[in-house]
Structure 1
Amino acid sequence: MPDAILTDARTPAPELAARAARTGSSPVRDILALTARPEVISFAGGLPAPELFDVAGIADAFRQVLAEQPQRALQYSTSEGDPALRTAVAARYSARGLPTDAADLLVTTGSQQGLSLLATTLLEPGDVVLVEDPCYLAALQIFSLAGARVVPVPTDDDGLDPAALDEIAARERPKLLYVIPTFQNPTGRTLPAERRAAVAEVAARRGLWIAEDDPYGELRFEGEPMPWVASFPGAEDRTALLGSFSKVMAPGLRLGTLRLPAGLRRACVIAKQAADLHTSTVDQAAAARYLADADLDAHLARVRGAYQERRDALVDGLAAALPEGSRWNRPAGGMFVWATLREGYDATALLPEVVRHDVAYVPGAPFFAGTPDATAVRLSFVTHSPEEIREGLGRLRTALEGAHRNG
């Protein structure tokens, strides 16, 4: 009898927080789960080519760290990050034209955490965040969890439109602008220098923070490097620059950096203490050792050469693979090509048929904070060899032609 009374008295556990209920799973992650079969040639994920990882160099760095300083490498560390790693990253920024001190940097558990720390320190529920339209999916998730109101800024083939940014900023009074100005995810577009200067000027005049995300900047195949938005007048004291080791070293390390103005840096350190105390000590130490002992620039030259060949294989084959009247770009670096199918095609509706042909892409619609473009497709070119890319494009052509006939 007492057991029955206890059972009857049970009360359901409280519901999830509203932020968890309103934030969906990443469509890219869901698609990757569907296409995990080895026979699938996937243009869906932004996964660096694993055969290009410098496994020997990274393994040697870990061996050296664990042999020479095991107690320090396996111990708790400071929230700000390994001093040697911060010094090395600061030197790389400075060498590329952005004077940086180690004290300007916070090491994060992937640049994704850096964006989460910025959302935690800058955003109250209801605050307005401006984003490029289309925008990186995980950023949309982070801003949703923060309770922000996301407002899209129109883009064209050169990226974000500064005139539209100015008009929207005047109307919406945003707190933050999030932008990937170089080889943007999902479009692969690069913001020209004059637009970067205009973005900095608008941010200064309208009074907003800039989160400048730069995971792909060192993956340039063609043309001259672009200066960071953070380097332009007006942006110096209001830009958080996010960096990542995922695309240049290995994503499994989960290492990133935040370059921050002093006041914001102090707040982000406190937020990081609450989030995870600090990023993995041993991974930071190994990364610092790798940067000291290995030739990262030589490694990146090999990676860029391979990625350029893969980009060419994809872009040169799209005319035969996509319906007549489709459009696509030819990015000068990064990992992604952005295509729009001919009017009347729905990339999301077509995906199941495409996957049945053992090939995959990511529909572009989920990347839009505003009105989605149902014809848009994101194609990653870095994971597969040129031969596999050509085979995948043949499968894609067959799938789209079959769907068109049956439709």
Structure 2
Amino acid sequence: MSVAAAPIASVPPLAARARAVGGSPVREILAVTARPEVINFAGGLPAPELFDREGVAAAFRHVLEEMPGRALQYATTEGEPVLRERLARRMSVRGLPTDADDLLVTTGSQQGLSLLATALVDAGDTVLVEEPCYLAALQAFGLAGARVVAVPGDADGPDPEALAELVVRERPKFLYTVPTFQNPTGRTLPAERRAALASVAARHGLWIIEDDPYGELRYDGERVPWIAAHPDARDRTVLLGSFSKVMAPGLRLGWLRAPAELRRACAVAKQAADLHTPTVNQLAAARYLAVSDLDAHVARVAAVYRERRDAMLAGLPDALPEGTVWERPEGGMFVWARLPETYDTAALLPRVVREDVAYVPGAPFYAGEPDRSTLRLCFVTQTPEEIAEGLRRLGRGLKDGGPRDGA
């Protein structure tokens, strides 16, 4: 007697937030353009040949030889005290008085965004962002169930009056901004604009999340103080930092500086996420800060990046269509360009990739209606000669690319 096979039930669906938030277009482009012959302006990766490999290796050797039991053991969620002390000292020297207990060490500053979203956002809450905005921040806030609203702005960043109107109307949890050498635009908010944003936050009751992964990579001009240092914002600003762009991204070391109640909430969220950032990486970074001159290393990196930025700026007029506009970034890693409105940079990308060069289309960086004629170019990973050749290829790929379908 045969027995009929029992029907196989389907498993429950993914969470709605996981279905609603897609992957990173940048990561997808990097996968498609991984061929060695491609000159890739799409990434946001620091130049690997400039890593202080000997200094970092020596730091790891020291901690593994001198304190292996501690380096390979579990640690506190807040982070290794010696690392937090040295980070606090660096921040204090730069104009923001900070104690070690003000800091939470994170697994890259990207984790800081996720922890803040967990600590601050309930499903359906509104959060405000710049336009355009760092793509991974949009992902983190979307996965938390936030309603993400862009603040209108100009070349100096979010408009304070528009921000005040949105705060009154939307009652958002926070404003997220990368005020120095922003990703993707490369712009820097002037001191006056930072003060105005801090004033709005003070008057209307608003958290500011200030993300600063690129601030030490300055090539021109004078350093602009953090929003977190402004008197109006000291009790309501979270400052995120990272070693990814100045030491090595593979260390996955970041930190957040926040008022006590919010910092404790982020620590609880981190306990649920990964318990703590790898101990050996933290101790190695602390050792590096103790015996190496990180500022001198950053200055050497910045000198090379400045030359590469200048090479890109010099080649853009011949590579991009007539009528394209872009700004000269004072630092960071990116140039943002707006082509004539007939161009759709996402549709044109396959044609450009056939020329063995790549960029990131601008559309994914928008929380609202995107400007499809925009694109982001990273200038730090290639030599000036490679940049010049890449821009020649880009010019060929964009030639006569006016129709919106890119055909």
Q: Aligning the two structures, in what range does the TM-score lie when normalised by the shorter sequence? A: over 0.9
Matched, 1:126 2:124: yes
Letter in 1 for 2:9: T
Q: Hey, what's the Cα distance between the residues in 2 that align with 1:182 and 1:282?
A: 30
- Secondary structure of the residue aligned to 2:231 is coil
Number of the residue aligned with 2:18: 20
Number of the residue aligned with 1:383: 381
Letter in 2 for 1:160: P
CA contact (8 A) 1:90 1:105 kept: yes
Number of the residue aligned with 2:322: 324
Q: Hey, what's the Cα distance between the residues in 1 that align with 2:194 and 2:14?
A: 40
Encode CA deviations 1:313-371: one digit per residue, 9 max, x unaligned: 00111000000010011000000111001121110000000000000000001100111
Number of the residue aligned with 1:226: 224
Q: Which structure 2 residues correspond to residues 139-158 of structure 1 after superposition, within 5 A?
A: 139-158=137-156
Matched, 1:212 2:210: yes
Q: Hey, what's the Cα distance between the residues in 2 that align with 1:168 and 1:260?
A: 24
CA contact (8 A) 1:26 1:138 kept: yes
Q: Hey, what's the Cα distance between the residues in 2 that align with 1:342 and 1:120?
A: 40
Q: Percent identity?
A: 70
Alignment counterpart, residue 8 of structure 2, candidates 3, 7, 10: 10
CA contact (8 A) 1:347 1:364 kept: yes
CA contact (8 A) 1:108 1:258 kept: yes
Number of the residue aligned with 1:110: 108
Matched, 1:344 2:342: yes
CA contact (8 A) 2:313 2:328 kept: yes
Alignment counterpart, residue 261 of structure 2, candidates 260, 263, 266: 263
Matched, 1:30 2:3: no
Please report how far the alpha carbon of residue 195 of structure 1 lies from its aligned counterpart in structure 2 after TM superposition: 0.7
How many residues are matched? 405
- Secondary structure of the residue aligned to 1:246 is coil
Matched, 1:246 2:249: no
- Secondary structure of the residue aligned to 1:178 is strand
- Secondary structure of the residue aligned to 1:37 is coil
Please report how far the alpha carbon of residue 274 of structure 1 lies from its aligned counterpart in structure 2 after TM superposition: 0.7
- Secondary structure of the residue aligned to 1:234 is helix
CA contact (8 A) 2:343 2:401 kept: no
Letter in 2 for 1:389: I
Q: Hey, what's the Cα distance between the residues in 2 that align with 1:404 and 1:153?
A: 29
Q: Hey, what's the Cα distance between the residues in 2 that align with 1:293 and 1:161?
A: 43
Number of the residue aligned with 1:95: 93
Letter in 2 for 1:120: T
CA contact (8 A) 1:345 1:375 kept: yes
Please report how far the alpha carbon of residue 115 of structure 1 lies from its aligned counterpart in structure 2 after TM superposition: 0.7
Alignment counterpart, residue 50 of structure 2, candidates 17, 32, 52: 52
CA-atom RMSD, angstroms? 1.2
- Secondary structure of the residue aligned to 2:89 is helix
Encode CA deviations 1:118-163: one digit per residue, 9 max, x unaligned: 0000110011100001000101001111001001011211121111
Gaps of 5+ in 1: none
Please report how far the alpha carbon of residue 402 of structure 1 lies from its aligned counterpart in structure 2 after TM superposition: 5.5
Q: Hey, what's the Cα distance between the residues in 1 that align with 2:320 and 2:388?
A: 13
Please report how far the alpha carbon of residue 403 of structure 1 lies from its aligned counterpart in structure 2 after TM superposition: 4.1
Q: Hey, what's the Cα distance between the residues in 2 that align with 1:321 and 1:97?
A: 41
Q: Hey, what's the Cα distance between the residues in 2 that align with 1:181 and 1:17?
A: 33
Alignment counterpart, residue 69 of structure 2, candidates 61, 71, 86: 71
Q: Which structure 2 residues correspond to residues 259-338 of structure 1 after superposition, within 5 A?
A: 259-338=257-336
Please report how far the alpha carbon of residue 168 of structure 1 lies from its aligned counterpart in structure 2 after TM superposition: 1.3
CA contact (8 A) 1:353 1:403 kept: no
- Secondary structure of the residue aligned to 1:92 is helix
Please report how far the alpha carbon of residue 204 of structure 1 lies from its aligned counterpart in structure 2 after TM superposition: 1.3
- The worse-fitting range, judged by mean Cα deviation, of 392-401 and 157-166 is 157-166
Letter in 2 for 1:307: Y
Q: Hey, what's the Cα distance between the residues in 2 that align with 1:265 and 1:403?
A: 49
TM-score w.r.t. length of structure 2: 0.98
Letter in 1 for 2:338: T
Letter in 2 for 1:277: L
CA contact (8 A) 2:342 2:402 kept: no
TM-score w.r.t. length of structure 1: 0.98
- The worse-fitting range, judged by mean Cα deviation, of 349-358 and 202-211 is 202-211
Q: Hey, what's the Cα distance between the residues in 1 that align with 2:341 and 2:272?
A: 49
Gaps of 5+ in 2: none
- Secondary structure of the residue aligned to 2:90 is helix
- Secondary structure of the residue aligned to 1:8 is coil
Q: Hey, what's the Cα distance between the residues in 2 that align with 1:395 and 1:37?
A: 15
Number of the residue aligned with 1:162: 160
Matched, 1:398 2:407: no
Letter in 2 for 1:156: D
Q: Hey, what's the Cα distance between the residues in 1 that align with 2:332 and 2:53?
A: 21
Please report how far the alpha carbon of residue 171 of structure 1 lies from its aligned counterpart in structure 2 after TM superposition: 1.1
- Secondary structure of the residue aligned to 2:175 is strand
- Secondary structure of the residue aligned to 1:150 is strand
- Secondary structure of the residue aligned to 2:398 is helix
Encode CA deviations 1:377-405: one digit per residue, 9 max, x unaligned: 11110110111000000001111116459
CA contact (8 A) 1:201 1:233 kept: no
Please report how far the alpha carbon of residue 8 of structure 1 lies from its aligned counterpart in structure 2 after TM superposition: 2.2
Q: Hey, what's the Cα distance between the residues in 1 that align with 2:328 and 2:277?
A: 36
